[in-house]
Structure 1
Amino acid sequence: MDQLDGDAGADPTAAQAHPVSGDWAYEADGYFEEQYPLSPLDDHLIHQTPDPIRVAATTDPRFFERHWNIFHDQAGELLIATGGSFYPNLDTAEAYAIVTCRGVQRSVRAFRRIGANRGSIHVGPIRPTIVAGMREWRHELDAREHGLAYDLTWRDSHRQMYRAAYGSLENGNPPGGQRHVTAGFESFGTVGGWVEFEGERFTLDPGTARGTRDRHWGIGRGVGGPRFQSDGKPPKAGWIGGVWIAFRDFAIWGPIVLYRYGDSRARYGKVRKVDRRFRFEPVTQVFAEAVIDFTLDNGDMKRVHFEKLGQQTAFMTCGLYGGSPDRSIWQGDAQPDGTVQGDRHDLTDPDIRIALRGLDEHHCRITCDGEVSTGLLQPLEPDAFLACERDEKGWAFL
């Protein structure tokens, strides 16, 4: 390497233009626009293909990287859902924060171009930071103009395991298309810090406050709305029945059983069978109560009683699942760089619940084998009601 000290051709301002700091690996400067397709992460020895990191291995516009997180107290007063997505082939980044407090929901959505910097996952006022991969995140929000702010530390408590869902070439949609793959991992954990809601500050104690999260990537269902669907119809927001519950001895995340770090049992287990009995609100057809039997791969059957806590729900249409509340924006839709949106909904109004229902995350009191805690149930509504009405296998009214 040539010695630059004293070189007449050296730029004396170079050191000032390129300061070295603890954030250097994650903070791209303006020069990276002219270094496309390179980015700061390409200086790390982490490549898996000949392409640079910011180049996706597929040209499918629905390719995404996504984080999703939901936090809650144990009292049924505070529920936070937040997440964000990168769509590299669309050069679009989006994020949302939804906070429901005592039956009132406030939401913030933010949008930007991804640009050269794949290390920073901040989008507008929504600022998650990976402190330690698969162990600790910091979530910050400063959107006081929309009545929301928080500073929360998340720590994983359960062992994450890689999973992938592969589509079928034989049943491809459309026929002849490559199979779609969504992959990633999930976890449970604790959360601590503070939340401001309409000027009132709440404290979350990591000894009691908890939640769940996932990190998924691949070909995203619903990305781009109707224009990216083979039938041209609005895509469904998700599956009919999601569940996230953690007890002392086991935790269920959808179709799998997770265990805490260091648990001597199998790395993870599977839910072999689910039998649901639901009670719904009579007018809205939104979930109110359920008894669900989970048959696990070790032969155990866990019967869990779910009771929704007031109107403590995060309606995920406000996070673009199934489209925005007015169906004008879908996941991956480009908005003007720097766009920030906010809304407020009184969930005690049944008309509001009908207008927002879709993929909905309900904070519930949960009971199993005499242990009482709180957790989350996520039906697709009103599809869950209709599945019970049709008496589909595994679905019935309570």
Structure 2
Amino acid sequence: MTMLTELDEHFYHQTPSPVDALRDTDPRYVDQHWFQCMDVEGRWIVGANWPVWPNTGMIENGQIIVHGDTQYNLRYSSTIERDGYKSARVNQQVGPASMEVIDPLRKARFTLSPDNHWGISYDLTMDTYLRPVQTRTPIAFAGSATLPGLLPYFEIMGRWTGELNVDGVTYEVNHENTWGQRDRCWASLGGERWQGWTGPAPGGGGVSPRGEGR
């Protein structure tokens, strides 16, 4: 049974259950965020995905950093502590990666500390450049005779500021030398019964291994 948290003081209940509970019990249900920051000269690209799996108690983060002709991949995962405002669903941090919504739909900050195998780090903030676009994208499952589902989704285009450190090179990031976007979606995406890199959290506790490569 899901316990009450501080979030239940707000007037956003849509089911008879506490705010932290989902009506959809499918373990494939995901609430996720993606961002991409691109250098206009093509020297580098930074992208990261933040999937949260509420029904399996996991939060994950996958990083892709492209520098020249080299691509670096970082993956991290951890369990979700259901502590209201302290929850990882409100304060997104996994390993050395963190995400902060400074001004909803207008400004968000993403950081990566150098505490990773490659020593890559960044502190990037995206300012919304165009109004967010909301869609409901059809989801078609292979081999299914049923009508496709709909994926609640919105996308935001923007410009970036901050700093990127990779391969011993520091890049100053500003509105003139970058473009990018970030998007959000939340739904059961179908596919394999267990999603994510590590499957459900064993016994609801513990921290999953991290993967790093290029």
If the length of structure 2 is used for normalisation, what is the TM-score? 0.84
How much is the aligned-residue C-alpha RMSD, in angstroms? 2.6
Aligned to 1:43: 9
Aligned to 1:333: 199
Counterpart Cα distance in 2 of 1:339 and 1:194: 28
Aligned to 1:146: 117
Could you tell which deviates more after superposition, 47-56 or 208-217? 47-56
Give the 5 Å matches for 1:226-375: 228=193, 330-331=196-197, 333-334=199-200, 337=207, 339-344=209-214
Aligned to 1:262: none
Q: Which runs of 5+ in 1 are unaligned?
A: 1-34, 230-328, 345-398
Give the 5 Å matches for 1:52-201: 52-116=18-82, 117=87, 118-147=89-118, 148-166=120-138, 180-201=149-170
One-letter identity of the residue aligned with 1:58: D
Aligned to 1:389: none
Asked if the contact 1:94–1:332 (Cα under 8 Å) also holds between the matched residues in 2, the reply is no
- Which of the residues 155, 164, 186 maps onto 1:217? 186
Q: How far is 1:330 from its partner?
A: 4.4
Asked if the contact 1:180–1:219 (Cα under 8 Å) also holds between the matched residues in 2, the reply is no
Deviations 1:346-382, CA, capped at 9 Å, x for gaps = xxxxxxxxxxxxxxxxxxxxxxxxxxxxxxxxxxxxx
One-letter identity of the residue aligned with 1:341: G
User: Cα gap change, 1:338/1:132 in structure 2, threshold over 3 Å: closer, same or farther?
Assistant: farther
Counterpart Cα distance in 2 of 1:153 and 1:99: 16
User: What SS does structure 2 have at the residue aligned with 1:146?
Assistant: coil
Q: How far is 1:181 from its partner?
A: 3.1
Q: How far is 1:141 from its partner?
A: 0.6
Counterpart Cα distance in 2 of 1:79 and 1:54: 35
One-letter identity of the residue aligned with 2:165: E
Deviations 1:109-157, CA, capped at 9 Å, x for gaps = 1101112013122112110111111111000111443221110111111
If the length of structure 1 is used for normalisation, what is the TM-score? 0.47
Higher helix share: 1
One-letter identity of the residue aligned with 2:57: D
Asked if the contact 1:93–1:332 (Cα under 8 Å) also holds between the matched residues in 2, the reply is no
Q: Which runs of 5+ in 2 are unaligned?
A: none
Q: How far is 1:338 from its partner?
A: 5.0
Counterpart Cα distance in 1 of 2:71 and 2:54: 31
Q: How far is 1:199 from its partner?
A: 3.0
Counterpart Cα distance in 2 of 1:79 and 1:111: 22
One-letter identity of the residue aligned with 1:155: D
Answer 1 or 2: higher relative contact order, Cα 8 Å, separation at least 6: 2
One-letter identity of the residue aligned with 1:192: T
Higher strand share: 2
User: What SS does structure 2 have at the residue aligned with 1:339?
Assistant: coil
Asked if the contact 1:182–1:218 (Cα under 8 Å) also holds between the matched residues in 2, the reply is yes
User: Cα gap change, 1:187/1:145 in structure 2, threshold over 3 Å: closer, same or farther?
Assistant: closer
